[in-house]
Chains A and B, each alone.
Chain A
């Protein structure tokens, strides 16, 4: 069974440009999460989808970030326009259902560098 995949693995862009990150969750997982780790800080929650609906987007830093999950399969996270402080590693995770001992399975991350 394939794990969570993310694309691209690395992205280097200039300040003011737009970048779109993609996450493909494990097949059949209704829950999809985005997290990020900026340099020297903890991994922080961004948002949570249940199927195509945003369950919790309390961690989204500002309106330059837009996450979508059309059709309830893969998700995209767009940053427009990118700023220097957006540099970091963006992780996606998925889980089958909430509760019990269900774990969140993480992807390898996208390393974003804004110059």
Chain B
């Protein structure tokens, strides 16, 4: 059974700081996704990572994938308040997503 571990669960950080969210998974996968969810809203797709060494960046967020280590990271650079949300990684195996627990990120002014 595929297991996905995401940490930390909660992250409170000051504006302007950098931090990384980690996502480990237990078996090989087809794709890895990062999603963002604002309270009461749907999950918004941020990144889709396919291959080993893949790196994608959008604004202050950068995601990477190491399939050999079965690890993905979501790096936040110079955080700003509007990045406050819950972030999920999800591993796709045969089009079935297995989600991590989510990281609730709060950016403090």
Q: Does B101 contact A (CB under 8 A)?
A: yes
Is the CB–CB distance between A106 and B99 below 8 Å? no
Residues of A bordering B, CB below 8 Å: 3-4, 31, 33, 35, 42-45, 48, 55-56, 58-59, 91, 93, 95, 98, 100-109
* A33 / chain B contacts, CB cutoff of 8 Å: 95, 97
- 16 A–B pairs (Cβ distance < 8 Å), ordered by A: A31-B95, A35-B97, A44-B99, A45-B98, A55-B95, A56-B94, A58-B96, A91-B42, A100-B50, A103-B48, A105-B45, A106-B35, A106-B44, A106-B45, A107-B42, A108-B41
Task: Count how many pairs of residues, one from A and one from B, have CB atoms less than 8 Å apart in the complex.
Answer: 56
* Contact B96 A45, beta carbon cutoff 8 Å: yes
Instruction: Give the interface residue-count category, chain B.
Output: 20 to 34
Is A4 a contact partner of B42 (Cβ separation < 8 A)? yes
